[in-house]
């Protein structure tokens, strides 16, 4: 049995634990122990080491419950980025890393593999038991660094010569990195860049700031790479309905980011079902690039068209080969000095239109693929909804039943209505 290590080789396992501790945080150790008691203890200890004060625990009758609690308005930088800076390595990896970048210390220094090997041996000769790196190990590391873009390999005659890649000038970029490392997709990359600076000053804070997506950065970067190359991918997907993840093929088309519910979805074409569907990015893992997808542009154009009828992430539902569209309208009362309600309707609507229909009433109307996605927003106008009409009668009745239930819940119900 190997000893506990602060660093990890595989991110997938800790990704699951982090989400559980941060989003839910009410499960006891015993519930996690169904998987492995040791694994739970190790992952919890690692997170305590990375996240420090953000980790808390309470004792409940079911046992000790560990949770992560973070007010992201107060933390200037996403604490979850630390997890992505905890990749394990071998003693050889770290030694070779610093030796190689020291030997190839400037882009003008260009050496062959035997020359590099000779210099490595010379550098290590001062140690009592010097490490020995064979040719294939160093060649493999150089190849890895060429893929990362930090080393350049060039054939000169029949010889492969290696030199350090040229750098990018980044003067006065700290403010920009402080901002974009928090708001741009894959912001952790900005955090890696900030790590190069010495305690950079930071003047930004973030409100309504969802930080969980940090742990999905690797998946997201692979999906972006696939989209840029117009590639299909295979990916493991853990849907809510299934216990085990399944491997699926898809053509990624666009990432849909929510700044109101903390979720990120991928809209992708699934050839197996001839349909564009949404997938939760936090449920995806192990993305592998496949070949070029010749239909990429055509499918993305189709998604562009669909977006005018999408409130959230549900795309066209086909009923017997026909596009299924639902009509939604509701009217709100706007009193004197309540012009902000009209402004709210205008700025918060993503599709549809707002019109004045009476002296103090405004109506919102839209055609959508899925009325249910719009209901949470409509509920935010509770206290002023005077009319409501959905072509999906089932959902309209459910909305009204829900209202009745809320009256009961808060003790203000009078009589029961029957909505059929």
Instruction: Mention every residue, 6+ apart, whose C-beta is less than 8 A from residue 237.
Output: 245, 246, 247, 248, 279, 283, 284
Least distance to other proteins from the beta carbon of 286, Å?
A: 12
Q: How far is the CB of 377 from other proteins (least distance, A)?
A: 7
**SS3 of 363, please?**
strand
Minimum distance, C-beta of residue 320 to other proteins, in the bound complex (Å): 27
Largest CA distance in the chain: 91
Residues 224-243 that bind other proteins (CB under 8 A): 224-225, 227-228, 240
CA 366 to CA 351: how far, in whole Å?
Answer: 7
Q: How far apart are CA 188 and CA 207, in angstroms?
A: 18
CB of 145 to other proteins, least distance (A): 8
Which of 41, 86, 110, 153 is in the footprint of other proteins by CB under 8 A? 86
Q: Which is nearer to other proteins, 27 or 139 (CB)?
A: 27
The distance of closest approach from Cβ of residue 321 to other proteins in the complex, given in angstroms and rounded to an integer, is: 27
Please report whether residue 292 would count as binding other proteins according to CB under 8 A.
Answer: no
Closer Cβ to other proteins, 201 or 321, answer by number:
201
With binding defined as CB under 8 A, does residue 347 bind other proteins?
yes
Query: What are residue 21's phi and psi, to 5 degrees?
Result: -70, -35
Q: Which stretch binds other proteins (CB under 8 A): 36-44, 202-210, 352-360, 362-370?
A: 202-210
Site for other proteins contains 78 (CB under 8 A): no
CA 78/CA 83 separation, integer angstroms:
10
CB-wise, 128 or 157, nearer to other proteins? 128
Which residues ranging from 251 to 290 are in contact with other proteins (CB under 8 A)? 254-263
Task: Please identify which residue in 110, 386, 391, 392 interacts with other proteins, judged by CB under 8 A.
Answer: 386
| Closest distance of CB 352 from other proteins, Å | 12
Q: Closest Cα to residue 376, out of 324, 316, 311?
A: 311
**Using CA atoms, how far apart are residues 420 and 313, in angstroms rounded to an integer?**
29
What track of x and - describes contact with other proteins for positions 99 through 138 (by CB under 8 A)? x-xx--x-----------------xx-xxxxxx-------
Helix or strand or coil: residue 240? coil
Minimum CB distance to other proteins, residue 190 (Å): 7
Sheet architecture: strand order including 353-358: 353-358, 361-368, 326-333, 385-390
Residue 156 three-state SS? strand
Q: Which is nearer to other proteins, 63 or 294 (CB)?
A: 63
Name which position in 59, 207, 336, 359 contacts other proteins (CB under 8 A). Answer: 207
Which residue of 111, 113, 150, 341 would you call a contact of other proteins, by CB under 8 A?
150
| Cα 74 to Cα 209: distance, rounded to the nearest angstrom | 10
- For other proteins, the closer CB: 321 or 411: 411
For other proteins, which is the closer residue by CB, 71 or 134? 71
| Contacting residue, 17, 32, 50, 369, with other proteins by CB under 8 A | 50
HSE-CB at 392 with a 13 A cutoff on CA atoms is 19
Closer residue to other proteins (CB): 204 or 292: 204
Report the C-alpha gap between 179 and 256 in whole angstroms.
21
Are the C-beta atoms of residues 209 and 72 closer than 8 Å to each other?
Answer: yes
**Helix residue spans in 33-134 (DSSP H):** 37-51, 91-103, 113-124
Q: Which of 167, 274, 291, 321 binds other proteins (CB under 8 A)?
A: 167
Contact call for residues 23 and 80 (beta carbons, < 8 A): no
Q: Is 394 in the site for other proteins (CB under 8 A)?
A: no
**Which residues ranging from 294 to 333 are in contact with other proteins (CB under 8 A)?**
300, 307, 310, 312-313, 333
List 37, 160, 197, 205, residue binding other proteins (CB under 8 A):
205
Ordered DSSP codes for 365-407: EEEES-GGGTHHHHHTTTTSEEEEEESSHHHHHHHHHHHHHHH
Q: Which of 29, 113, 139, 179 binds other proteins (CB under 8 A)?
A: 179
Give CA–CA dist 327/392, Å, rounded: 7
Dihedral pair phi/psi, residue 417, rounded to 5°: -95, 155
Number of residues this chain uses to bind other proteins (CB under 8 A): 144
Among 1, 134, 156, 169, binds other proteins (CB under 8 A): 169
> Of residues 40, 180, 279, 364, which one binds other proteins by CB under 8 A?
180
What are the beta bridge partners of residue 368?
Answer: 326
63 is a site residue for other proteins (CB under 8 A): no
């Amino acid at each position: 049995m190997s000893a506990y290590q602060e660093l990890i080789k595989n991110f997938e396992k800790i990704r699951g634990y982090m989400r559980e501790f941060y989003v839910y945080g009410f499960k006891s150790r015993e519930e996690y122990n169904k998987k492995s008691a040791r694994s739970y203890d190790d992952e919890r200890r690692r997170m305590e080491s990375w996240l420090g004060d953000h980790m808390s625990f309470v004792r409940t009758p079911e046992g000790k419950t560990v949770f992560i609690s973070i007010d992201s308005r107060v933390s200037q930088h996403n604490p979850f980025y630390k997890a992505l800076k905890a990749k394990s390595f071998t003693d050889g990896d770290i030694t070779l890393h610093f030796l190689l970048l020291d030997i190839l210390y400037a882009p003008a220094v260009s050496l062959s593999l035997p020359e590099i090997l000779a210099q490595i041996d010379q550098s290590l000769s001062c140690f009592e038991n010097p490490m020995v790196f064979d040719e294939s190990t160093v060649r493999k590391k150089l190849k890895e660094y060429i893929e990362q873009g930090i080393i350049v390999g060039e054939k000169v005659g029949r010889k492969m010569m290696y030199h350090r890649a040229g750098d990018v000038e980044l003067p006065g970029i700290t403010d920009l990195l402080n901002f974009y490392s928090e708001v741009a997709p894959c912001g952790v990359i900005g955090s890696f860049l900030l790590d190069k600076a010495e305690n950079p000053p930071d003047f930004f804070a973030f409100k309504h700031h969802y930080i969980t997506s940090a742990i999905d950065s690797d998946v997201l970067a692979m999906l972006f790479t696939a989209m840029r190359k117009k590639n299909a991918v295979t990916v493991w997907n853990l849907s809510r309905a299934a216990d085990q993840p399944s491997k699926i093929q898809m053509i990624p088309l666009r990432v849909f980011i929510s700044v109101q519910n903390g979720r990120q979805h991928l809209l992708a074409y699934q050839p197996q079902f001839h349909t564009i569907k949404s997938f939760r990015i936090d449920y995806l893992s192990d993305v592998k690039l496949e070949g070029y997808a010749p239909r990429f542009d055509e499918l993305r154009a189709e998604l562009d068209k669909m977006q005018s009828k999408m409130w959230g992430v549900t795309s066209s539902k086909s009923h017997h080969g026909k596009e299924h569209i639902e009509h939604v309208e509701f009217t709100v009362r706007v009193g004197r000095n309540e012009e902000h309600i009209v402004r709210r309707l205008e700025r918060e609507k993503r599709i549809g239109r707002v019109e004045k229909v009476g002296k103090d009433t405004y109506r919102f109307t839209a055609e959508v693929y899925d009325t249910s996605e719009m209901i949470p927003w409509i509920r935010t106008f509770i206290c002023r909804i005077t009319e409501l009409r959905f072509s999906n009668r089932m959902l309209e009745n459910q909305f009204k039943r829900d209202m009745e239930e809320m009256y009961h819940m808060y003790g203000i119900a009078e009589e029961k209505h029957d909505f059929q």
